[in-house]
Amino acid sequence: MALEVTPVHRNLHQRVTFFYLEFEDLFLVIGLAAVMSVTGRFLDRELYGVPLNLVLQWGIPILSVPVLMLFKYGKPRGYLRDLFTWHAKPHIYCGLEADRMLTKEFLK
């Protein structure tokens, strides 16, 4: 009985990309499409003869892909996730700043 051999890809550091975007970045595009879909249902208007809900549902997510491609050009892996976490965390700009919590003695 012969031993069956299957090829194993050893390049684990290769970036998984789709349309030159990382897999995590496509969650942003899908989330943007969902938000624009909900927003488009409330607007009953037209833009050059095209209903605005179709422009929001399809146009904004499709245009966000090239914008993200240009924004992320030359940036390291996971840049968008790191950017969001940096903006979400509180920042300490100076370690010598006076403490705002206790301005008077607690016990006398």
pLDDT digit of tens for each residue in the chain (108 aa)?
778 888 877 777 777 778 778 888 888 899 999 998 888 888 877 778 888 788 888 888 899 999 998 988 888 888 888 898 988 988 777 767 666 676 677 676
The predicted structure's pLDDT at residue 98? 67
CA distances from 69 to 24, 25, 63, 87 (A): 13, 10, 10, 21
The predicted structure's pLDDT at residue 15? 74
Of 60, 34, 35, whose CA–CA distance to 47 is shortest? 60
Enumerate residues 6+ apart whose C-beta is below 8 A from 41: 53
What span, in angstroms and rounded, lies between the C-alpha atoms of 42 and 51? 12
With beta carbons less than 8 A apart as the criterion, state whether 81 and 89 touch: no
The predicted structure's pLDDT at residue 106? 67
**Where are the chain's structural domains?**
17-88
pTM: 0.63
